[in-house]
Amino acid sequence: MSSDFYRSIADYYDYIFPANEKQVAFITEQMQGDCTSKALLEVGCGTGNLCNQLTQHFEHVSAIDINPLMIEKAEAKAFDSGRSIDLSCLDMLQIKSAFRPQHLDAIVCFGNTLAHLDSLLEISNFLQQAHFLLKPGGQIFLQIVNFDRILQDNIRSLPVIDNKHIRFERFYSYDATSHKITFRTILTENVNKTAIENTTSLFPLQKNQLKDILHDCGFPHIQFFGTFTKEAWHESSMATIVAASC
């Protein structure tokens, strides 16, 4: 999984993906109780918005990202807010070697991070490692684009993110032979009209594939949602959101 894709947009990341209180509420509600003695790991933390918010609810928060510039920004954000977060620049396929077994109460992986892995084998590898780190009864929370909808309806683009700072366009091109999606983005800074174009590959992980892998990796209790407000998942949902426990 390459870190190059997001490096060039790191300075604009918070304009594209601002803090989202609904994500925090989703996690804390699913944990069903006081989390002040619990430990959580965020995988793919970006500039640290979510992990920063979660320090208000969890005793110990760790967060990783493969991009060192993202980690620098997350560290600065934590320092400015006076929050204690254990931040590391780390590939998500290396978490087993970086954290103690059965030490975590929750693992969070949002922002379509899972789809940046290369194959079902890599996705299974990550989820096996996640299971290894979670305490019995621990939970993993996942969020990806609803690729069932993308493939079924031949979706070629996602909604444009447009605000006073930036315009962020996202385009999909599916290749049936490789079973990969070419993800192309155009970020335009609205002040000076500078445009940054990027391309990367995504694995279009579908709901039933994810469900089967989670079962195989030791997560028997799996819930699917279409939004962070817990609307039911259906084929036309924009997202596939998961809460699964050991």
For the 149-202 domain, the top CATH level (class) is mainly beta
pLDDT of residue 66: 96
pLDDT of residue 77: 95
pLDDT of residue 2: 52
pLDDT of residue 1: 52
The CATH 3.40.50.150 domain(s) of the chain lie at 4-146+205-245
pLDDT of residue 3: 57
pLDDT of residue 246: 95
pLDDT digits over 132-146, tens only? 999 999 999 999 999
Topology (CATH level 3) of domain 4-146+205-245: Rossmann fold (3.40.50)
What one-character-per-residue DSSP string does the chain give? Answer: --SHHHHTTGGGHHHHS---HHHHHHHHHHHTS--TT-EEEEES-TTSHHHHHHTTT-SEEEEEES-HHHHHHHHHHHHHHT---EEEE--GGGHHHHS-TT-EEEEEE-TTGGGGSSSHHHHHHHHHHHHHHEEEEEEEEEEEE-HHHHHHTT--EEEEEE-SSEEEEEEEEEETTTTEEEEEEEEEETTT--EEEEEEEE----HHHHHHHHHHTT--EEEEESSTT-PBP-TT-SEEEEEEE-
Return all residues near 80 (Cβ < 8 A) that are at least 6 apart.
none
**pLDDT averages per 10-residue partition of the chain, 246 residues:** 73 94 97 92 98 97 97 96 95 98 98 97 99 98 99 97 96 97 96 92 98 99 99 98 98
The CATH 2.20.25 domain(s) of the chain lie at 149-202
pLDDT digits over 168-196, tens only? 999 999 999 999 999 999 999 998 888 99
CB 135 within 8 A of CB 218: no
pLDDT of residue 192: 87
pLDDT of residue 111: 96
